[in-house]
């Protein structure tokens, strides 16, 4: 139940790129992805549904993450290529969210 509440909060408050980055990081840790592979044979439509988006946006973001060197993609697989950069991306998103929240209160 606590995880579901966190996922709802993420969907409501984070931008799509942040939701995708958080999901990739979560999958990395949840699956003990030693080689960095977080998804095997998961289509982009499924990822989009998980983060509350659409396939075309997920494709664009995955290509952006790939261009930044954060992930690698091959034959239906997504592999974390630079875990530190992915963590940094999620931390920046959290800091931005916290700054917005503090500004509003």
**pLDDT at residue 105 in the model:** 43
Say what the pTM is: 0.73
- How far is residue 76's CA from residue 79's CA, in Å, rounded to a whole number? 10
pLDDT score at 86: 92
Q: Which residues in the chain show pLDDT less than 50?
A: 1, 98-105
Q: Determine the Cα angle at 60 with ends 54 and 61, to 5°.
A: 90
pLDDT number for residue 1:
46
Instruction: Give the pLDDT confidence score for residue 5 in this predicted structure.
Output: 59
SS (H, E, C) 90-101: HHHHHHHHHHHH
pLDDT at 67: 95
Residue 61, Cβ neighbours under 10 Å: how many?
A: 22
Q: What is the pLDDT of residue 2?
A: 53
Q: Which domain holds residue 33?
A: 2-104
Structure tokens at 35: 């080689």
Number of domains in the chain: 1
We report the CATH number of the domain holding residue 88 as: 1.10.10.10
């Amino acid at each position: 139940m606590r995880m579901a509440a966190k996922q709802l909060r993420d969907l409501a408050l984070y931008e799509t790129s942040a939701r995708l980055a958080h999901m990739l990081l979560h999958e990395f840790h949840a699956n003990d992805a030693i080689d960095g592979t977080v998804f095997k044979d998961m289509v982009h439509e499924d990822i989009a549904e998980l983060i509350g988006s659409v396939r075309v946006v997920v494709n664009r973001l995955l290509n952006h993450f790939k261009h930044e060197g954060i992930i690698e993609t091959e034959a239906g697989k997504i592999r974390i290529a630079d875990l530190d950069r992915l963590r940094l991306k999620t931390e920046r998103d959290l800091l931005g969210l916290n700054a917005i929240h503090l500004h509003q209160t």
